[in-house]
Structure formats: structure tokens, C-alpha cells
Amino acid sequence: MRQSNEFDNGVRHDWQYQEVADLFALPMNDLLFKAQTVHRQHFDPNQVQVSTLLSIKTGACPEDCAYCPQSARYDTKLEKEKLMEVEAVIEKAKAAKAAGSDRFCMGAAWRSPHERDMPYVLAMVKGVKDLGMETCMTLGMLDESKSQRLAEAGLDYYNHNLDTSPEFYKDIITTRTYSDRLETLQNVRDAGMKVCSGGILGMGEEQKDRIGLLMQLANMPQHPDSVPINQLVKVEGTPLETEGDLDPFDFIRAIAVARILMPKSHVRLSAGREEMSEEMQSMCFFAGANSIFYGECLLTTPNPAANKDQDLFRKLGINSDHKVTQQPKELEEILAQKPAEKESMFYNAAG
């Protein structure tokens, strides 16, 4: 394994398979120590970035992502919802800001945004931006023109996950290709937006696929600014509903390796956090995760209630200087005001 820049500020884009496999194979304490050392070079180890995710259009997606309850191909009893009104989205963003979120992510279950929806989507970006929050969207595939318009409206981040390794990908999605995904990420980057891209673990992939996914992300010419690492949430009606459980240590190892490979990126704990114990989440933070989604639901799957997150942060001394102007309870009430507009989840990714 290359040793020269293990602990310097160098950010590499030339990771080789065996190097990454060697990291995965380290004794846990060595791996965690290495990841925490890298983490401290670039981040305050006691700060975790907090984002709120809102589903602005839920369900009826034409794609066939095997993990996703929003696909129209699976009978998941998910209530479909139309694109939300712009004003309603802004109200939710205000509530999220008051509860301590600094970034507001808006997700729509589309293959790609339709031209007729673009004016509304752009107005949402402008409205949330005017609140002084960072903006993020996940709307599916983007061409150059749509990427450009979103960037001009003030969109800071665009999420589009690679999901898994190129080799395992065809077992999970057939309606769009891996290279379609890479092309969207390129369009996003070319338009000047920050890239949020990661994957999902626990879909039946092997270790080599976790290595393959992280290598794809880490060997991009520029690392994604945010790297969501999701744990599969097995939703009834989806093809992956009976998938076996992922060993928590495999998940923690992947977080640590992501931190080492992409030292300056925010590594985000996303879907699946509801099923993680506090101890597991704290090990993930030690391994270098420094971003979470906040709020009751992540698009359509449960997410730990905001006050549970705050309790955990208190216990761990995380974000002790964070200003919260509105109690999470009130946030939950506001988020729940209109059931038809409830928050829900896409693995932080319509895509």
C-alpha cells in the first residue's frame, strides 16, 4: 500500500483496487485510527453538518431502482403526491432553518425534471436561497441546459448517487446506465454546482462492489463534496425487501474507507440511520461521518426524530455551539401539517 501521503493533506484520485481492499482488511482499530487521523486534518471532529430533506414530489417514478419504494413498478402502498406548491416548500425550509438545519434538500421522484416543472423548481431554489440556507436538489438525470439553469437560480448542491459498483449496478437498476449517472454528475460539475454522490450498502453486493463504488467516487477528477453512504432500508413490495442484514461493522468500515479516500468530502449518514443504534452511529462519526439528515423521514423511509438526534449530539458533545431557534417538536408539527406534503426519502437521491 502506498504510504507516502497517508497523513498529509494530499487528496488522491488514483486509488488502486488492492490499496482500497487493504484498507478494508485492516484491523478495525487501525482502520478507525487512520480514518480519524485523516478526518482531523480537514474537519473539526465534533461538528456534524445537518441537512433537512423534503420530498417535493413523491412516488410514481418510472425508473426501476430495486431498493426504492417510489418506483411505480413496485406495489409499496406509497401514497403518490404531486409536485408541491412553491410557497409550501419555502415554509418547510423556514421550519428546517429554525430547527438548526443549514442545508435544505429537495427531492423529486422523476427520471429527470420535465421542462414544464422547471419554473417551479427554479422558484423553489431561489426562495430557499433567499432564506440564507444552502440549497440541494435531487431530481434525477440532468442535461447541460437544466444543470445550467439550476446553477443560475442558486442551487448549491445536486445529488445523484452512483448507488453501487459498475459491475453490480445492473442487478439493481436497468432503466438507466451507470454512464448516464456519470454524465449527469459531469453536467452538474460543469455548471458550477457542488456534487453530492454516494451509494447504498446492504443490497446484496459483495465487498468488491463496496470497493468498486468508493473507487469510482474517489477517482473522479474532483471528489464529490458530499458522499452519502446509505444502508438499505428494506421496504415491503420492493425487490430487495427480503435482502439479508448488513453487518454493522461492514458499514462502519465503508464509512472509514470513504473518509480516507475522500479526505475533504462530507461523508453523510443517510438512509438506514433509523435502524442504527446510537453506539453504531457514534462509531460512524468516529470513522469520519460528519453529516446527517435531520427530521422525521428521509423521503419515504423513517429517519430518527429530530430530538433523538439532538439527544445523541448532546451525549457525544457534537455541535454544542449549534443555535436552534425552534424546538424539534415544533419542526415535526410543521413538517406534518399537510400529510400530502410530508417529508420522505429517496436515499437522498432521485437517481
Nearer to ligand SF4, 138 or 281 (CB): 138
Decide if 68 is catalytic: yes
Nearer to ligand SF4, 19 or 117 (CB): 117
Decide if 284 is catalytic: no
User: To the nearest whole angstrom, how small is the minimum distance from the Cβ of residue 339 to ligand SF4?
Assistant: 20
Q: Is 273 helix (H, G, I), strand (E, B) or coil?
A: helix
What is the four-CA torsion angle of 218, 191, 131, 105, rounded to 10 degrees? -40
Q: Which of 103, 189, 268, 273 is catalytic?
A: 268
Rounded Cα gap, residues 254 and 214, in angstroms: 8
User: To the nearest whole angstrom, how small is the minimum distance from the Cβ of residue 337 to ligand SF4?
Assistant: 24
Q: Is 238 exposed, middle or buried (0-12, 13-18, 19+ CB in 10 A)?
A: buried
Decide if 65 is catalytic: yes
Nearer to ligand SF4, 65 or 142 (CB): 65
Nearer to ligand SF4, 140 or 328 (CB): 140
User: To the nearest whole angstrom, how small is the minimum distance from the Cβ of residue 242 to ligand SF4?
Assistant: 19
Q: Which of 12, 116, 136, 314 is catalytic?
A: 136
Q: What is the DSSP track for 318-350?
A: TTTT---SS-HHHHHHHHHS-GGG----STT--
Nearer to ligand SF4, 68 or 262 (CB): 68
Residue 247 DSSP label: P
Decide if 61 is catalytic: yes
User: To the nearest whole angstrom, how small is the minimum distance from the Cβ of residue 235 to ligand SF4?
Assistant: 11
Decide if 105 is catalytic: yes
Q: Which of 103, 181, 189, 196 is catalytic?
A: 196
Residue 123: Cβ within 10 Å count: 16
| AA letter at 241 | E
* Contact yes or no for 301/309 (Cβ under 8 A): no
Rounded Cα gap, residues 90 and 103, in angstroms: 13
User: To the nearest whole angstrom, how small is the minimum distance from the Cβ of residue 338 to ligand SF4?
Assistant: 21
Q: Kindly tell me the number of DSSP H helices and DSSP E strands found in the chain.
A: 12, 11
User: To the nearest whole angstrom, how small is the minimum distance from the Cβ of residue 294 to ligand SF4?
Assistant: 21
Nearer to ligand SF4, 13 or 82 (CB): 82
List, in sequence order, the alpha helices (H) in the chain. 17-24, 28-42, 86-98, 118-130, 144-153, 166-169, 178-190, 207-218, 248-261, 278-286, 306-316, 328-336
Encode 125-141: b = buried (16+ Cβ within 10 Å), e = exposed.
bebbbeeebbbbbbbbb
* Contact yes or no for 127/89 (Cβ under 8 A): yes
Nearer to ligand SF4, 52 or 70 (CB): 70
Residues lying near ligand SF4 in the complex (CB under 6 A) are found at 61, 63, 65, 68, 70-71, 109, 140, 346, 349-351
Q: Is 10 exposed, middle or buried (0-12, 13-18, 19+ CB in 10 A)?
A: exposed
Decide if 273 is catalytic: no
Beta bridge partners of 227: 267
User: To the nearest whole angstrom, how small is the minimum distance from the Cβ of residue 109 to ligand SF4?
Assistant: 4
Catalytic residue numbers?
Answer: 61, 65, 68, 105, 136, 196, 268
